[in-house]
Amino acid sequence: MSRLYLDHNATTPLRPEARAAMLAALDAPGNASSVHAEGRAARATIETARAQVAALVGARPAAVVFTSGGTEAANLALTPDIGGAGAPFARLIVSAGEHPCVLDGHRFPAGAVSRAPLLPDGRIDLAALDTLIAGGRVMLALQAANNETGVIQPLAETAALVRAHGGLVVCDAVQMAGKLPFDMGAAGVDAAILSAHKIGGPPGAGALVFGRPALHILPAMLRGGGQERGQRAGTENAPAIAGFGAAAQAARIGMGEEGPRLTAIRDAIEADVRAIAPDAVFFGAEAPRLPHVSAFALPGVTAEFLLMALDMAGMAVSSGSACSSGKVKASHVLAAMGAAPGLSRCAVRVSLGWSSRNGDRDRFSEALRRVLTNLRRHRRDATA
């Protein structure tokens, strides 16, 4: 039987639409900066993708700056000096549950960065944030939804608080975009970070999208030929960008059906887990969550053991962020939510996506049941 992939938050399988767009771009020679017919065709491919990505987040196509991925977009955005935003920002506030590329990849001095705590349900503590903001104009970095727990942040309320103090909001929308409707204007965010491979596009493509016409990258980190309107130099990766655009369009069109479909599978899996392991603890279940993510712990069963056992049973799940050097380690997100270290070390994540099917629930639940039955039998034998 083929393996079962339940780690879409780490990377999502390539959509057929993205594959077709990439192959077409690979077969078409031409540099998008060239003026001949082939160059103009490559430029048209990129601009089509730019419009498709912009539509996914309710932005203007001209606001999209293509990058090599979400990490580069974060590094570009999290700088004291954003063009068009006025005087440089003296401080950066990040929520304590942010992705490592936001926690560690910014261009602010270390002493200018502070972390806003999370509530036990995984949402940002707005009262604490209000205290942190007091006394100065700040930049806030806040995920739309957490990559480990799926918890959705109160973006509009948070952005209103920051903007009332003259601040600016940079939103990591990598996990939200394409899963649930996300409109930058409605959310009140000034810049959004996107990644192609989280929505069925290829790795190596991402975008930084600005919410206001005046905003732009300053200074550019990559300087050269002036591509991306001078904000990110280097010949554009037209095939990857084409795949990004096609995936964005497919995700946007299918979102209305995909959300309820994946919610039903996720909820059925959680019901099975509760039946198999009544002491299971689910993280962020009290807050609004993405429809395709479940993070839970089975007390006394380490994540490392469970991941390896399920891998041997033919399925891929995760213990949290896949961008932490490939190690199973304690989650800073769960720690920020107040989870006990022992419980955090037992946390695993199941994440679904466009290629998930109803039958995946049965395969996962049966495998989990077998793994836990064998573990309990081994423990009984060891103490007999």
- Looking up residue 337, the CATH number of its domain turns out to be 3.90.1150.10
Q: Based on the domain organization, do 181 and 287 belong to the same domain?
A: no
What are the helix (H) ranges across 27-99? 37-56, 70-77
How many CB atoms within 10 Å of residue 264?
Answer: 13
Q: Based on the domain organization, do 86 and 204 belong to the same domain?
A: yes
- Quick one: average pLDDT of 120-126? 98
Dist. CA 268–CA 342, nearest whole Å:
26
pLDDT band at 325 (very low <50, low <70, confident <90, very high): very low
Dist. CA 258–CA 180, nearest whole Å:
9
- Percent over 90 (pLDDT), the chain: 84
Predicted confidence at residue 223, as pLDDT, reads: 82
User: Is the separation of the CB atoms in 15 and 358 below 8 Å?
Assistant: no
Structure tokens that stand for 41 in this block: 């065709």
Non-local CB neighbours of 369 within 8 Å, separated by 6+ positions: 276
**Whole-prediction pTM:** 0.94
Non-local CB neighbours of 6 within 8 Å, separated by 6+ positions: 315, 316, 317, 350, 351, 352, 356, 360, 364
Dist. CA 153–CA 287, nearest whole Å:
9
Q: Based on the domain organization, do 296 and 316 belong to the same domain?
A: yes
Is residue 17's pLDDT more than 70?
yes
Q: Based on the domain organization, do 112 and 185 belong to the same domain?
A: yes
Q: In the listed set 249, 273, 300, which residue is the last one of a domain according to the structure? A: 249
Q: In the listed set 228, 249, 270, which residue is the last one of a domain according to the structure? A: 249
Can you state the angle between helices 155-164 and 126-133, rounded to 10 degrees? Answer: 20
* b/e 80-109 (16+ beta carbons within 10 angstroms → b): bebeebeeebebbbbbbbbbebbbebbebe
Domain extent, residue 295, equals 4-11+256-383
Closest to 172 in 3D by CA, of 149, 193, 148: 193
Angle at 268 between CA 263 and CA 272, to 5 degrees: 150
Is residue 323's pLDDT more than 80?
no
In this structure, what DSSP letter does residue 209 have? E
Q: Based on the domain organization, do 103 and 143 belong to the same domain?
A: yes
Dist. CA 195–CA 265, nearest whole Å:
24
User: Is the separation of the CB atoms in 303 and 289 below 8 Å?
Assistant: no
Q: Based on the domain organization, do 245 and 261 belong to the same domain?
A: no
Averaged pLDDT of the chain: 93
Report the SS3 class of residue 165. coil
Angle at 164 between CA 162 and CA 166, to 5 degrees: 75
What CATH number should be reported for the domain holding residue 81?
3.40.640.10
- Quick one: average pLDDT of 65-87? 94
Q: How many domains does the chain have?
A: 2
Is residue 240's pLDDT more than 70?
yes
Predicted confidence at residue 105, as pLDDT, reads: 62
- Quick one: average pLDDT of 19-48? 94
Report the SS3 class of residue 278. coil
Predicted confidence at residue 98, as pLDDT, reads: 96
Q: Based on the domain organization, do 232 and 263 belong to the same domain?
A: no
Predicted confidence at residue 225, as pLDDT, reads: 80
Token pair 């039998």 in the structure block, residue = 377
* 323 has catalytic annotation: yes
Is residue 124's pLDDT more than 50?
yes
Predicted confidence at residue 218, as pLDDT, reads: 81
Is residue 25's pLDDT more than 90?
yes
In this structure, what DSSP letter does residue 320 have? S
Structure tokens that stand for 299 in this block: 């007390």
As beta bridge partners, residue 139 has 92, 168
What's the Cα-to-Cα distance from 327 to each of 8, 40, 114, 308, rounded to whole Å? 18, 45, 26, 12
Q: Based on the domain organization, do 306 and 233 belong to the same domain?
A: no
Q: What is the tens place of the pLDDT at every residue in 186-225? A: 999 999 999 999 999 999 999 999 999 999 988 777 788 8
Q: Based on the domain organization, do 327 and 227 belong to the same domain?
A: no
Q: In the listed set 249, 270, 296, which residue is the last one of a domain according to the structure? A: 249
Catalytic one among 101, 171, 323, 346?
A: 323
pLDDT band at 275 (very low <50, low <70, confident <90, very high): very high
Q: Based on the domain organization, do 166 and 189 belong to the same domain?
A: yes
| H/E run at residue 28 | none
What's the Cα-to-Cα distance from 19 to each of 27, 29, 101, 201, 384, rounded to whole Å? 12, 17, 27, 8, 56
Q: Based on the domain organization, do 262 and 224 belong to the same domain?
A: no
What's the Cα-to-Cα distance from 320 to each of 85, 333, 348, rounded to whole Å? 34, 9, 7
Q: Based on the domain organization, do 59 and 149 belong to the same domain?
A: yes
Closest to 76 in 3D by CA, of 218, 230, 224: 218
Predicted confidence at residue 106, as pLDDT, reads: 82
Dist. CA 254–CA 237, nearest whole Å:
26
Bridge pairing between strands 206-210 and 113-116 = unpaired
- Quick one: average pLDDT of 231-247? 94
Report the SS3 class of residue 290. coil
